Amino acid sequence: MNGAELRVVLADDQTIVRDGLVTLLDLLPGIRVVGAASDGEQAVALVAEHAPDVLLTDLRMPGHDGVEATRRVRAEHPGTAVVVLTTYADDDAVVEALRAGALGWLSKDADAEAIGRALRSAAAGQSTIDAGALARIVAAGPAAPGPVPDGLTAREVEVLGLIAAGLTNTQIARRLVVSEATVKTHVNHLFAKAGLRDRAQAVRYAYRHDLVGE
């Protein structure tokens, strides 16, 4: 992120929603909308033009949808994080967007502060998923059982799932009733085994290998 200002491109096929999001985000301190798209293809073009910190995209759009836009942005413009904002409680689509590299999922009834936090977290490489979305994703579970990749232990998989849910090391320690030092050890081990550099990569790894919800 350049300086203190967070630069955002947003995409939504509904004009009234798109205009409303522009107005809402421009009212938040430190956030500036640099482009607004009506579909995923236009969103990718605007990201290429403006190199924003974050793309905030609807999930369901004609032509290139939010999943495809996420996939292309993460592949072609890795410096731009992605947050999905949608009204749909479609677990498969949400998980696909996260597997494609989105770092957050928020429902459209989220308030301005929640959206602002999600954008800032994504720009910092941290995952943000609202409580309702997380409950549905966890309930859906992994797509299919299979061997644990890269020799991860059951505890390391558990820690990885909590990282993907957006928890900090302190929060993970409280959830698992262990010390924060123990959590850091698990994180270091799983990062080394899976070849991960940061938590953003860990989130994508967790969804790619269907390890969320286990």
35 contacts: CB under 8 Å, gap ≥ 6: 9, 10, 46, 47, 49, 50, 52
Task: Order the strands of the 104-107 sheet from edge to edge.
Answer: 31-37, 6-11, 54-57, 81-86, 104-107, 128-129
Distance between CA atoms of 172 and 87, rounded to whole angstroms? 29
Between CA 75 and CA 77 the distance in angstroms is: 6
Question: What percent of the chain is predicted at pLDDT more than 70?
Answer: 86
In the numeric block, which tokens belong to residue 5?
A: 């200002």
pLDDT for 149 beyond 70: yes
Quote the percentage of the chain above a pLDDT of 90.
Answer: 36
Mean pLDDT of the region 163-180: 86
**Phi and psi at residue 83, to the nearest 5°:** -125, 130
What mean pLDDT is predicted for residues 125-134?
66
With CA atoms as reference, report the closest residue to 138 among 214, 36, 24.
214
Token pair, residue 199, equals 């938590």
Q: What is the pLDDT of residue 43?
A: 95
Q: What is the pTM assigned to this prediction? A: 0.67
Between 193 and 145, name the one with better pLDDT.
193
Give kind and range of the element (H or E) at residue 104.
Answer: strand 104-107
> What gap in Å lies between CA 152 and CA 9, rounded to an integer?
37
> Residue 69: which of 144, 109, 10 has the closest Cα?
10
**pLDDT tens-place string over residues 45-79:** 999 999 999 999 998 888 788 889 999 999 999 99
CA–CA separation, 67 and 123 (whole Å): 18
- Write down the pLDDT at residue 66: 87
pLDDT at 32 over 80: yes
Q: So what's the pLDDT on residue 12?
A: 93
177 or 132, which is more confident?
177
Domains and CATH numbers, the chain: 6-138 (3.40.50.2300), 142-208 (1.10.10.10)
pLDDT of residue 175: 85
What is the pLDDT averaged over residues 108-121? 86
Q: Is the pLDDT of residue 134 over 60?
A: no
Report the Cα 8 to chain-centroid distance in Å.
15
Where do we find the tokens 């609807």? 58
pLDDT over threshold 50, residue 143: no
